């Protein structure tokens, strides 16, 4: 069974995706993002890419051995915080890592095209888990990956191994080779997966960039990869929806002094029930 459905035509999209996630470690939902939102995203991603290159330099980015990864995009353009308001994504988060979950990371990808057989082998395109810990089947982390470009075999649609999630051992290379699937889908789709699922970027040989945005959400007591509360301006965080603040880690801050520690419950930096 290939778990793919369209939220516009399937009123059972949520239960189906949760079933896919549990049984095979993934589900694909089409029809989540509208055309104008996709266009805004594309424009904003290229602008952020320029700013990151200015900030960090191409040389340093190349030395990091990544392919078109845009980290902390929201620091360069708060437009990307709008993703944290997408209803379908929030419903999925609520039903998996809970309504108190935090954003572990939000990364954009402008995956470049290479001539056939010329794609460098790096972390992104070697099979891996994004949450490399097996906790006796406990679901600690999920990924929500948006296809901003259509995802095709030619442009490097994410590859994944169905059923490889929540396993103590890495599957053999033979098993990976013979069971790999492509997350082929229309632009505006969401590829949901258990972060212990083995996956990798495909090879883009289409001649055009493949754009996408990955989100990883964890239970609130895992450390974020990026401390978004410190990465973003406080004003920007305070002007967000309470749920966005929650996801950014506003209610899971760690006190540094006794005044903060002894705050009244509603003013505390770390709120009760963050489990
Ligand atoms: O770009 C993709 O399709 C996957 C990238 C990935 O898995 C990662 O960067 O962790
Ligand atoms: Fe990954």
* Ligand 1 atom showing the smallest separation from residue 183 Cα: 3
Mean pLDDT along residues 19-29: 98
Task: Please give the Cα distance from 241 to 81 (Å, whole number).
Answer: 10
pLDDT tens string 196-214: 999 999 999 999 999 999 9
Ligand 1 pocket, Cβ-based, cut-off 6 angstroms: 109, 111, 124, 130, 158, 199, 201, 212
Helix (H) or strand (E) holding 101: none
Is position 269 within any domain?
no
User: Which residue's CA lies nearest to atom 10 of ligand 1?
Assistant: 124
User: Which residue's CA lies nearest to atom 2 of ligand 1?
Assistant: 201
Residue 274 confidence (pLDDT) above 70: no
Residue 15 confidence (pLDDT) above 90: yes
203-219 as b/e: b if 16+ CB within 10 A: bbbbeebbbbbbbbbbb
User: Where in the sequence is the domain holding 99, given as residue range(s)?
Assistant: 4-218+225-235
Mean per-residue pLDDT of the chain:
96
Task: Please give the Cα distance from 164 to 175 (Å, whole number).
Answer: 10
Tell whether the torsion through CA atoms of 11, 148, 159 and 155 is positive or negative: positive
Those residues whose beta carbon sits under 5 angstroms from the ion ligand 2 are 130
Is position 247 within any domain?
no
Q: pTM to 2 decimals? A: 0.97
Predicted local confidence at residue 232, as pLDDT: 98
* Ligand 1: centre distance to CA 170 (Å): 18
Is position 178 within any domain?
yes
pLDDT tens string 123-153: 899 999 999 999 999 999 999 999 999 999 9
Residue of 151, 201, 225 to mutate, ligand 1, most atoms within 8 A of C-beta: 201
8-42 as b/e: b if 16+ CB within 10 A: eebeebbeebbebbeebbbbbbbbbbeeebbeebb
Predicted local confidence at residue 68, as pLDDT: 95
Is position 188 within any domain?
yes
Mean pLDDT along residues 67-93: 98
Q: Which two tokens stand for residue 219?
A: 């239970």
Q: What domain count does the chain have?
A: 1
User: Which residue's CA lies nearest to atom 6 of ligand 1?
Assistant: 124
* Ligand 1: centre distance to CA 16 (Å): 24
Predicted local confidence at residue 91, as pLDDT: 98
Helix (H) or strand (E) holding 237: helix 234-238
CATH at residue 156: 2.60.120.620
Residue 275 confidence (pLDDT) above 90: no
Residue 26 confidence (pLDDT) above 90: yes
Predicted local confidence at residue 23, as pLDDT: 98
Predicted local confidence at residue 96, as pLDDT: 98
Is position 120 within any domain?
yes
Asked whether the beta carbons of 136 and 121 are under 8 A apart, the reply is: no
Dihedral (Cα; 224, 226, 228, 233), 10-degree rounding: 160
pLDDT tens string 39-72: 999 999 999 999 999 999 999 999 999 999 999 9
Closest CA to 231 of 248, 217, 251: 248
Is position 253 within any domain?
no
Predicted local confidence at residue 271, as pLDDT: 81
Mean pLDDT along residues 92-101: 97
Mean pLDDT along residues 253-274: 89
Is position 46 within any domain?
yes
Length of the chain counted residue by residue: 275
Residue 272 pLDDT class (50, 70, 90 cuts):
confident
* Ligand 2: centre distance to CA 269 (Å): 31
Q: Determine phi and psi for 247, rounding to 5 degrees.
A: -65, -35
Helix (H) or strand (E) holding 4: strand 4-6
* Ligand 2: centre distance to CA 45 (Å): 19
Is position 130 within any domain?
yes
Residue 186 confidence (pLDDT) above 70: yes
Task: Please give the Cα distance from 100 to 105 (Å, whole number).
Answer: 15
User: Which residue's CA lies nearest to atom 8 of ligand 1?
Assistant: 124
pLDDT tens string 241-262: 999 999 999 999 999 999 999 9
Asked whether the beta carbons of 90 and 142 are under 8 A apart, the reply is: no
Question: What is the full DSSP assignment across 156-191?
Answer: TPPEE-TT-SS-SSPPPHHHHHHH-EE--B-TT-EE
* Ligand 1 atom showing the smallest separation from residue 130 Cα: 10
């Amino acid at each position: 069974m290939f778990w793919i459905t369209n939220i516009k035509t399937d009123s059972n999209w949520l239960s189906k995706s949760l079933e896919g996630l549990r049984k095979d470690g993934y589900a694909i939902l089409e029809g989540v993002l509208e055309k104008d939102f996709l266009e805004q995203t594309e424009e904003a991603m290229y602008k952020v890419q320029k700013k990151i290159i200015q900030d960090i330099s191409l040389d340093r980015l190349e030395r990091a051995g990544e392919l078109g990864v845009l980290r902390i995009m929201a620091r360069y353009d708060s437009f990307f915080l709008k993703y944290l308001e997408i209803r379908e994504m929030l419903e999925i988060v609520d039903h998996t890592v809970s309504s108190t979950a935090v954003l572990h990371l939000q990364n954009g990808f402008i995956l470049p095209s290479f001539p056939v057989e010329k794609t460098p082998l790096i972390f992104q395109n070697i099979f891996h888990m994004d949450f490399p810990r097996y906790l006796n089947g406990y679901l600690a982390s999920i990924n929500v990956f948006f296809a901003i470009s259509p995802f095709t075999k030619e442009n490097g649609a994410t590859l994944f191994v169905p059923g490889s999630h929540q396993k103590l051992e890495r599957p053999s290379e033979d098993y990976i080779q013979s069971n790999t699937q492509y997350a082929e889908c229309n632009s505006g789709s969401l590829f949901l997966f258990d972060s212990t699922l083995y996956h990798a970027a495909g090879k883009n040989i289409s001649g055009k960039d493949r754009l996408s945005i990955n989100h990883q959400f964890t239970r609130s007591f895992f450390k974020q990869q990026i401390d978004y509360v410190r990465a973003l301006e406080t004003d920007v965080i305070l002007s967000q929806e309470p749920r966005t603040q929650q996801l950014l880690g506003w209610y899971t801050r760690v006190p540094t002094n006794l005044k903060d520690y002894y705050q009244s419950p509603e003013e505390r930096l770390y709120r009760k029930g963050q489990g």
